[in-house]
Amino acid sequence: MAFGGGCEILLHCSAIQAHAEASIGLVETKIGVVPGWGGCKEMLIRQYALTAAPHGPVAPAIAAFNLIASARVSGSAFEARNLGLLRVTDGITMNRDRLLADAKRKALDLVPGYSAPERPKIALAGLSGAPAIRNLLDSEVIAGRATAHDRVVGIALIDTLTGGVSADPLKPVGEDEITAMEKRAFIALCGTPGTVARVKHMLATGKPLRN
């Protein structure tokens, strides 16, 4: 299992060798926060690489929002690959007894000629994309599939993924700018009564609170 912070560590790795039954996900919204250790940034970058060319910066923001807001967890490494939590270059091992050996081999294969990846820059949708995602969120609230505090968390997540009111789709930003927005959203949500209630409930019962 790689949930929350464990998933965020995974997303920053140069390569992964996952067991076929790996369960992976960004589950932070269940306790009323957004991923605050690069999870929003990494999923946005991955979705941007997949969808931005034909659809512009709104499509990757929507894709990242749908995954993170729902706290979706993969049922297998193959599903994690489909969700973008694993890349096509990440390995999958069927036999658990072979996992460590396969991981060592993958690490050693990286050594010849390895260099750190180029730091990407991506365009954020800004005000051109945020309303579309808010409409999706409000539809979930009206349908009863999202709660009042889900909406509070969702709006913070939307602002992070679209860059807020100051974002300019014509001026790409780097990882540090997105990470800073992510941290601000995380800290702000930690001070809300709804998030405090969710954290207390999770610690007491091990189950998420629907408030």
| pLDDT, tens digit only, all 211 positions of the chain | 999 999 999 999 999 999 999 999 999 999 999 999 999 999 999 988 876 555 688 999 999 999 999 999 999 999 999 999 999 999 999 999 999 999 999 999 999 999 988 888 999 999 888 999 999 999 999 999 999 999 999 999 999 999 988 898 889 999 999 999 999 999 999 999 999 999 999 999 999 999 9
Residue of 164, 200, 175 whose CA lies nearest to 37: 175
Q: At 48, give phi and psi (nearest 5°).
A: -65, -40
Integer-rounded Cα radius of gyration of the chain: 18
Domains by residue range for the chain, with CATH? 2-205 (3.90.226.10)
- For 184-202, the DSSP string reads HHHHHHHTSHHHHHHHHHH
The Cα 21–Cα 79 span in angstroms is: 10
Q: What is the reported pTM?
A: 0.92
**Sequence-distant (≥ 6) Cβ neighbours of residue 184 within 8 angstroms:** none
